[in-house]
Amino acid sequence: MKLELRRIHIKDIQLGDKTEVKGGVLTVNEEELISKLKEDERVKEVKIDIARPGEKVRIIPVKDVIEPRVKIEGAGNGFPGVTTKMAQLGEGKVNVLHGAAVVTVGDIVGFQEGVIDMWGEGAKWTPFSKTYNLVVDIVPVEGLDPHAHEATVRAVGLKAAELIGEAGRDVEPDEVLTYEIGSNAEETAKYPDLPKVLYVEMLISQGLLHDGYIYGVNSQNILPTLMHPNEELDGAVISGNCVAACDKITTYQHQNNSVILDLYAQHGKTINFMGVILTPELTTLEGKFRTCDYTAKLCKMIGADGVIISEEGYGNPDSDLLMICKRLEDAGIKTVLITDECSGWDGMSQPLADTAKEAVAVVSGGNVSHVVTLPPADKVIGNAKAIETLAGGWDGSLEEDGTIKCELNAVIGSTSEIGYHNLTAKLY
């Protein structure tokens, strides 16, 4: 499969009469966008706002972040299985509005949405303080059950990104990134002496609004699945969960999965990158044994010499991470784990809910319990009071002057377990 991501560098977002990109500026027709989004009968109201890097703007409670794109050659525009008809992704040419993001906010249904600060202390903890954000505030109609409410908000966000992405259809890119890997047999023939490396990506699959989706299929309902890395880069995997904001893998992060990009950078040089296995994180013991055994089986069948495993969430999924690690190491396959830690405010508590002596190579994305103080914003998009009911916040987190004190738990992408951020931890 060969995929071209053709980046159009976005340097600003404005509202105007026509949705278009000129000179690196994305202009959005607000009324037209709202009208199209309200074609969904589940939507009562939509508000559009803009947040730029460096502005003293706070966005809360954030549900998802999506990169606007358009497929100009090949199958599968939008998000097949969700916003468009099913199509095989991973090949063709995609124009990407790089530097822009659609950020969705709305009423809290679960406890685990998040906050983005575009400036100051808060900005250094989230990667989305560096993007030009078109914020879509969605109010569904009354009477929807929680799952339908969440499905509505997330689908509307994806649709907004798809509609805005169309502005880049006829724009020449500033850079073109090409990703190409053939069949396992072809790549092994090309690089017979390089170690074969697989990437196992664990996805929250716990129900109760805690699920990822692959081509529109809830990951609760799959066995571990082998995919070409290009499929994820092309939009096959989306966020559908409200797991703790710090390590929620947003749709934007799936579209730009940093583990995949790093493995691609080493493909044909130091490793032979063999593909991605998407593994659901289930809550039952039977489910954990099934998915962990099946994941290890796939790795052995493909002949992996090494496996990178990334987690989503913490606590319950820690056991899956360590169970997969043990099975692979016992089979002679070297593993590297990417996780984060829930180590308490002082950083001294047990970081993971489970452990295994086989876990000898572990990358930390930071401590989710680390407490930060976020100064008052000049402008809040959404509802700052929401911090008191978010994971990582508490009654009293929001002070009278607008200052927020919270754990990194509440900051979107702050301890990303696919490494899409700037935080780690030291071993003393």
The predicted-structure confidence for 262-281, as pLDDT tens digits, reads as follows: 999 999 999 999 999 999 99
Question: Which of these ranges, 174-178, 189-193, 214-218, 323-327, has the smallest mean pLDDT?
Answer: 214-218
| Helices marked H in 278-409 | 285-302, 316-330
pLDDT of residue 5: 98
> Residue 204: what pLDDT?
87
pLDDT band for 285, please (50, 70, 90 cuts): very high
Place of tokens 């900051």: 411
User: Which range, of 49-63, 101-115, 177-191, 408-422, averages the lowest pLDDT?
Assistant: 101-115
Please choose, from the candidates 411, 405, 391, the residue with its C-alpha nearest in 3D space to the C-alpha of residue 62: 411
Tokens found for residue 408: 């990194």
pLDDT at 348: 81
> In a 3-state reduction of DSSP, which class is residue 190?
helix
Residues of the chain with pLDDT > 90, as a percent, come to: 81
Decide if pLDDT at 101 tops 80: yes
The rounded distance, in Å, linking the Cα atoms of 142 and 148 is 11
d(CA 209, CA 312): 14
pLDDT the model gives residue 187: 96
Residue 49 has which token pair?
């706002």
The CA-based angle 347-353-354, given to 5 degrees, is 120
DSSP for 259-304, please give it.
HHHHHHHHBTTTBEEEEEEEEEE-SSHHHHHHHHHHHHHHHHHHT-
**In the predicted model, what is the mean pLDDT of residues 329-353?**
90
Q: CA-based Rg of the chain, rounded to a whole angstrom? A: 21
299 is catalytic: no
How would you class 176 by CB atoms within 10 Å of its CB: exposed for 0-12, middle for 13-18, buried for 19 or more? Answer: exposed
What are the percentages of helix, strand and coil residues in the chain, rounded to 5? 25, 35, 40
Are 105 and 62 contacting, i.e. CB atoms less than 8 angstroms apart?
Answer: yes
Q: What is the pLDDT of residue 328?
A: 98
Cβ contact 417:249 at 8 Å: yes
**Structure tokens, 228:** 């070409």
For the chain, first and last CA: distance in Å?
A: 44
Encode pLDDT of 102-149 as tens digits: 999 987 776 668 999 999 999 999 999 999 999 999 999 999 888 888
Q: What is the pTM of this model?
A: 0.95
- Our separate counts of H helices and E strands in the chain read 9, 24
pLDDT at 260 over 80: yes
Q: Rounded mean pLDDT of the chain?
A: 93
Torsion angles phi and psi, residue 149, rounded to 5: -60, -50
Tokens standing for residue 82: 């969700």
pLDDT value for 347: 82
241: pLDDT strictly greater than 80: no
**pLDDT reported for residue 146:** 83
- The DSSP bridge partners found for residue 138 are 46
Dihedral in degrees, nearest 10, Cα atoms 390, 391, 393, 395: 70
Q: Which residues does residue 22 pair with via DSSP β-bridges, in sequence order?
A: 25
Q: What is the pLDDT of residue 106?
A: 84
242, 246, 299, 342: the catalytic one is: 242
